[in-house]
Structure 1
Amino acid sequence: MEMRHSRPLTFRGEPLSVDRARRMRWTATGMLAAMAVLFIATHGLVSTHPVWGYVNAFAEAAMVGGLADWFAVTALFRHPLGLPIPHTAIIPENKDRIADTMAQFLRENFLTPAVVARRMSGMNVAKAAGEFLAASPERASDGSLDERSRITSGAAELLAEVLESLDPDRLGNQVRAGLAGQLAKLDIAPLAGRMIESAMVDKRHQPLIDGFVRWAGLTIEDNEETLRDIIHQRVAGVLRWTGLDKTISSSVLDGLYKLLAEVLVNPDHPLRGKIEEGLAKLGQDLQHDPDTRARVEEMKRDLIANPAVAVWWTGVWERIRQSLIRRARDPESGMGEDMRNMLAELGQALQQDERLQEQINRFARRTMVGVATRYGDQIVRLVSETVKRWDATTITARVEGAVGRDLQFIRINGTLVGGLVGMTLHFVTTRLL
């Protein structure tokens, strides 16, 4: 079974977000260094031409703005220049408080029953699931299975593992007990009577009679010597002394064979009619005769309580279990395709049956509200404890990797805005004052 694990994109062996933040940090630092070089280079040229005054003022203010924003951004994650300045390294120093605040924010704004119910009320979970399940299976460019095929393959493997992990004797006994309980509640006599009547109306009982006649003929043939011995013992001694017993037994057997043959080939034979009358009476008695129904019910109870039936069912269940395990693990068995077809049919039903959608959506909404109500505190506690377990280096790296690139834009903007402000102040002080 194919397994895939998602992992962050990497660039030169590092997460892409971390690498991009690092490159942006070098860009902001390079701009600050460029402003410092420009300030030094133009300091001696201020008196030679007014333009150099504007350039020098731009570079000076840009340095101040860039340094101020560098200090502010750096103070979020670490001590600037390693100096333990108060109110710096804010995130590492306050990670426990941040964890609690984050968890509380999540609890109050996302995991309240009202918020969950409101969000779920606008979602048609059943229809979305139906569209996914009913979608035609596709293969990726590398020939791998689509998501639905992976689900069915995983479900088949899960079924095999569950069947292997459970105690076969205990599971078989539980299934047998369940079937026995359902069978004990079922009144089988009227059901059997209606089946007999329905079969006779449609003439489906004729093959059953033919089979019974053939079985009787084969039984007589297999036990012919036994029948001859019985006839020999029943006839008078004079007949045995004269040897007529053999003639009588042969005549009796020939007569039985002839009778069965006539019944088999003649659909209007009187004996066949008698059998049909007996079947019709049996069907009526099974439905309406209390004594017959009571006898059938007693036979059913005896059959259920018979230890031999329990042993037989144990063997049947074990064969079923082993067969299911083999089919689940055999890609050629077709179980995966059967499960995909079942999922597709379920998906179509979810898309088309609005009443089913409403029931499933209501169940999903109530389930999620119940989860938020019962386990909301555990969820936010998990978030809080997970963040608290991170060391200072880990939480700094993760937060800086997530937002560090945008924070470096603050440094770049601070450098540019500071330079523009400095150039504006230079213009005001030299031209207007």
Structure 2
Amino acid sequence: MTLAQPAPPPHGAESRAADPRAALARMRALATSLLVVMALVFVAASAAEARWPWLAWVRAFAEAATVGAVADWFAVTALFRRPLGLPIPHTAVIPRNKDRIGEGLGRFIADNFLTARVLDGQVRKLDAAGWGAAWLAEPGRADALARRLAPAIPALLRAIPRETREQLLGAIALAAIRAVPAGPAAARVIDLAWRDGRAQPMLDGLLDGAAGYLASHEDFVREKVSEQSFKWLPKWVDRIIADRLTQGLIKAAEEMRAPDHPWRLELANAVQGFAQRLDHDPELMAQADALKLRLLTHPALLAEINAAWARVEARMLQDPAAANAAIAERLTEWLKALGAWLARDVAVQRRLNDTARLIALRLIAPRRHDIGRFVAGVVAGWETRDTVERLELQFGRDLQYIRLNGTIVGGLVGLALYAVSRVVGWG
């Protein structure tokens, strides 16, 4: 005979939707039914033992099983309420000690989960940045998170007064820009654009534009050459000089389209040298930051930020559904990019994990007793009836299995004692 074991957790949508109260009621009915059955078997075996002596073994099992079932029923019931409503001492343990249980739970959490040693070890194992990157990389995660966040953003912004909102958004934008050093950032942009060849089409376009401008403004060039030439020179000489100057400049612009042109190579060296200076020269970096601050504090920029947000806000109010869809789409792109960046940049993962560990050690560990008192306060604020119901729904089914096992174990112990008594001649 095997002891009753908790059934494995059911699977599927139907089991997830099961009512925990109904499940508890079924388990309670099963345990009570087994108690009643054992009591009836005991009565029947006692009545028929004189006619069929072998029923003494059945009676011994049923008698002990009934005692075990009643004892476990009393113990389980006494945790949550008074058995049969009788004022028996040390019953209704949870209702009478709810506040003390909350205090003990708070102390247990503070002393066993929130100490500096435990937090440091657990946060080190957690690898929050790696977990976040892997989570965002799973198909549909970023999209689902963006869809959940998107509707909350406009609602949150609308809840803030307009003037405060404009100041807040402007401050966030300016703080984000201020936090980025201007020199190194500009150096990386210039170096990336030039090194990957993205600036070459723009340079070719500038050369073509310059050649086209010269070709279409030959009269202007002649006029300027005539103004600067000697008065005694004939006009036709000025025209020849102007034409040759114009054609020479156009030809030079066309020749510079060649990737290996000396002037183009010199320009590339100059641009790369300037980018390196922006990234390493303290004086030039300071000048770049000063220029950035002057631009950031310019009233025209602040007005443009507010105007841009006003346009965005107007579109959100006109068509909230479209706004949510647009926000969700952009958030999805950002979240995917964030996940990919975290996944490939081990150094960033290490810094984020170190930051999480420091936050845990500096913010959570010193306040662990406050957190414990908070837990105790939350439990103390619960209604006694609600607390009992929550705990019973959480652990009640397992406690009913204890009743079932107590019935079976009690019967086996009674059977063993009866067998011993027969062997030694006590029965």
**Among candidates 120, 124, 128, match of residue 127 of structure 2:** 124
Of stretches 29-38 and 333-342 in structure 1, the one that deviates more from structure 2 is 333-342
**Among candidates 239, 245, 248, match of residue 268 of structure 1:** 245
Pairs within 5 Å for 1:319-330? 319-325=307-313, 329=320, 330=322
Q: 1:266 to 1:48 in 2, by over 3 A?
A: farther
Q: Does 1:382 align with 2:374?
A: yes
5+ residue gaps, structure 1: 1-7, 138-146, 187-197, 219-261, 277-286, 288-299
Give 2:142's aligned residue. Answer: 148
**Among candidates 409, 412, 421, match of residue 429 of structure 1:** 421
- Structure showing greater radius of gyration is 1
Q: 1:373 to 1:213 in 2, by over 3 A?
A: farther
Q: Does 1:397 align with 2:374?
A: no
Q: What is the rounded CA distance, in whole Å, between the counterparts of 2:174 and 2:382 in structure 1? A: 52
Q: Name the amino acid aligned to 1:114.
A: R
Q: What is the rounded CA distance, in whole Å, between the counterparts of 1:305 and 1:380 in structure 2? A: 46
Give TM-score, length-normalised by structure 1.
0.63
Q: Name the amino acid aligned to 1:70.
A: W
Q: Does 1:72 align with 2:75?
A: yes
Q: Contact 2:134 / 2:343 at 8 angstroms: preserved in 1?
A: yes
Q: Contact 1:172 / 1:314 at 8 angstroms: preserved in 2?
A: no
After superposition, what is the alpha-carbon deviation per residue over 1:80-121, rounded to whole angstroms, capped at 9, x for unaligned? 111111111111111111110000000001111221111111
Q: Name the amino acid aligned to 2:58.
A: V
The CA deviation at 1:65 is 1.6
The CA deviation at 1:337 is 3.1
Give 1:142's aligned residue. Answer: none
Q: What is the rounded CA distance, in whole Å, between the counterparts of 2:372 and 2:178 in structure 1? A: 45
Q: 1:424 to 1:268 in 2, by over 3 A?
A: same
After superposition, what is the alpha-carbon deviation per residue over 1:320-349, rounded to whole angstroms, capped at 9, x for unaligned? 113333666535975533432332222222
Q: Name the amino acid aligned to 1:36.
A: A
Q: What is the rounded CA distance, in whole Å, between the counterparts of 2:136 and 2:178 in structure 1? A: 36
Q: Contact 2:107 / 2:369 at 8 angstroms: preserved in 1?
A: no
5+ residue gaps, structure 2: 1-14, 184-199, 221-238, 254-273, 275-290
The CA deviation at 1:313 is 4.5
Q: Contact 1:99 / 1:383 at 8 angstroms: preserved in 2?
A: yes
Q: 1:357 to 1:393 in 2, by over 3 A?
A: same
Give 2:61's aligned residue. Answer: 58
Number of residue pairs the alignment of both structures matches: 333
Q: Name the amino acid aligned to 2:374.
A: L
Q: What is the rounded CA distance, in whole Å, between the counterparts of 2:214 and 2:178 in structure 1? A: 33
After superposition, what is the alpha-carbon deviation per residue over 1:187-241, rounded to whole angstroms, capped at 9, x for unaligned? xxxxxxxxxxx9xx979377369769989x99xxxxxxxxxxxxxxxxxxxxxxx
Q: 1:28 to 1:349 in 2, by over 3 A?
A: same
| Identical-residue share of aligned pairs (%) | 30
Give 1:25's aligned residue. Answer: 28
Q: What is the rounded CA distance, in whole Å, between the counterparts of 2:177 and 2:350 in structure 1? A: 36
Give 2:110's aligned residue. Answer: 107
Q: Does 1:371 align with 2:363?
A: yes
Give 1:259's aligned residue. Answer: none
Q: Name the amino acid aligned to 1:423.
A: L
Q: 1:382 to 1:305 in 2, by over 3 A?
A: closer
Q: What is the rounded CA distance, in whole Å, between the counterparts of 2:86 and 2:324 in structure 1? A: 68
Give 2:340's aligned residue. Answer: 348
Pairs within 5 Å for 1:208-227? none
Give TM-score, length-normalised by structure 2.
0.64
Q: Does 1:89 align with 2:92?
A: yes
Q: 1:163 to 1:80 in 2, by over 3 A?
A: closer
The CA deviation at 1:154 is 4.4
Q: What is the rounded CA distance, in whole Å, between the counterparts of 2:350 and 2:111 in structure 1? A: 28
Give 1:191's aligned residue. Answer: none
Q: What is the rounded CA distance, in whole Å, between the counterparts of 1:180 and 1:427 in structure 2? A: 86
Pairs within 5 Å for 1:233-252? none
Q: What is the rounded CA distance, in whole Å, between the counterparts of 1:415 and 1:181 in structure 2? A: 72
**Among candidates 133, 141, 144, match of residue 136 of structure 2:** 133
Q: What is the rounded CA distance, in whole Å, between the counterparts of 2:346 and 2:212 in structure 1? A: 52
Q: What is the rounded CA distance, in whole Å, between the counterparts of 1:173 and 1:424 in structure 2? A: 82
Q: What is the rounded CA distance, in whole Å, between the counterparts of 2:376 and 2:172 in structure 1? A: 45
Give 2:306's aligned residue. Answer: 318
The CA deviation at 1:179 is 11
Q: Name the amino acid aligned to 1:321.
A: W
